[in-house]
Structure 1
Amino acid sequence: MSNLEDRLTRALTDYPAEPSPDLFERVVESIAADRARRRILVQWSLVGLLVIAATVAAVLILTPRHENGTLAMPWWILEVATNLVLVAIALWLGPFIKRFGRAYAADVFHDNPLTGKSYIVLTDIVYYLIFTAYILFTLKVGPEAGWDYVEPVTVSAAQVTYSLSRIGGILLIIGILHGLNIVLMPVLGRLFSLNRRLPDRVGPARDRVEY
């Protein structure tokens, strides 16, 4: 065994590894926080399922039927259902991304924890602004010319295609922006870290020059 290996062995074996006095309390708090998050996730999942079930039941009850018994869904019912789906995606996807993005942001902004927290808050605001703007831009208050214009206007294949493209479009936009955020976040973290360290290095140098 070399001298370096001998020194490392003694340092590791002789070091008094005493546990932290508040280790047990921190573990208990971590377990409680994890249980609370799981409980909230289950509650929100149940609420989402109830909302979906209530929406489907309302659609089936309010939708009239043809003489042969088939549903003749008015165009506005599908429009309202699509908007509810978009709102549900926004409310579910935002906390989901934030939950797994905290650890990534904490690792990127390890030199600036407050900056990382502010960055997460700002990205949440941008996320909901994008979702709100997208819903308002694509909202229809009347049937389009390419849809079924026979009174009463019912759901057609063109409207179903448009509704699916709305849902796919917002998922594509959020996916692209989220991917860019993952790529750019380490660059921003590095820049913030350099900006914080630069005054600490330049300040003492200026003091020595002025002396």
Structure 2
Amino acid sequence: MTRRPETPGEPSEVERRLYDALDPAATRPPAPDLFERVLGSIADDRIRRRRIVRTVATLVLAILLLAAIVAVFAPRTGSGQLLLEWWILELFTDALLIGLALWLGPFIKRFGRAYAADVFHDNPQTGKSYIVLTDIVYYLIFIAYILFTVSFQPRENWSIFATAEQAGFEARRIGGILLIIGVLHGVNIVLMPILGRLFSLNRRISRR
């Protein structure tokens, strides 16, 4: 069996197999053929879609499992009315915030790469570093918000069972983090072109 000679800079067959074996979704060296690059992009998109479907399905199953456990083991009144203890609603909100962070972060990053690549077209490596740094800031904000708002005991106007006051507080927690991320994301969209222009100008001055 004769092998096609490899052109300089083209990944060998062994390298391609190693990339596929280690991580099918990893960033591979670009193929020299346009058709192969298109096929690779389609395969990567399918992998991302399967990961999103698995993440959403896992989150839905976790919520359904938690709801089933609550329905079975939660105490009831004499008339059969369900009494939900305060810590169950608290844990449910915490799990929802964590799931929201794990889903929303990759979702924003997926659609922000093209925008960052267009803004930092003169400095591609700077654009990649900027995306990584914004990811770190994003998760730090989520972690800090959850730690600041978590409750380890019932608050003053709460009961040992879930009340309307606690439900309103938990709803405000979810709305608060969405508002914070939305505002910061909007500011980031406005500031990114300015930063890209400054970096490009700085690079041109350095070349001169």
**Residues paired across the two proteins, number:** 178
Q: Which has the larger radius of gyration?
A: 1
Offset, 1:194? 0.7
Q: How does 1:107-118 map to 2 (within 5 A)?
A: 107-118=118-129
Amino acid across the alignment from 1:27: V
The answer for the alignment partner of 1:4 in structure 2 is none
Amino acid across the alignment from 2:128: K
Q: CA RMSD in A?
A: 1.3
Amino acid across the alignment from 2:204: R
Offset, 1:108? 0.5
Offset, 1:109? 0.5
The answer for the alignment partner of 1:195 in structure 2 is 202
Whole-angstrom distance in 1 between the partners of 2:74 and 2:92: 13
The answer for the alignment partner of 2:19 in structure 1 is none
* TM-score (normalizing by structure 1): 0.82
Q: How does 1:66-145 map to 2 (within 5 A)?
A: 66-145=77-156
**Residue 158 (str. 1) matches residue 165 (str. 2):** yes
- Aligned CA distance change for structure 1 residues 194 and 42 (closer, same or farther; 3 Å): same
Offset, 1:35? 1.3
Deviates more, 1:23-32 or 1:163-172: 23-32
Offset, 1:21? 6.3
Larger RCO (CA within 8 A; separation ≥ 6) = 1
SS of the residue corresponding to residue 71 of structure 1 reads coil
Whole-angstrom distance in 1 between the partners of 2:84 and 2:126: 50
Whole-angstrom distance in 1 between the partners of 2:52 and 2:172: 28
Gaps of 5+ in 1: 1-19, 202-211
**Residue 174 (str. 1) matches residue 197 (str. 2):** no
Whole-angstrom distance in 1 between the partners of 2:114 and 2:69: 41
Match of 1:32 among 36, 40, 43: 43
Identity of aligned residues (%): 63
The answer for the alignment partner of 1:47 in structure 2 is 58
* TM-score (normalizing by structure 2): 0.83
Gaps of 5+ in 2: 1-30
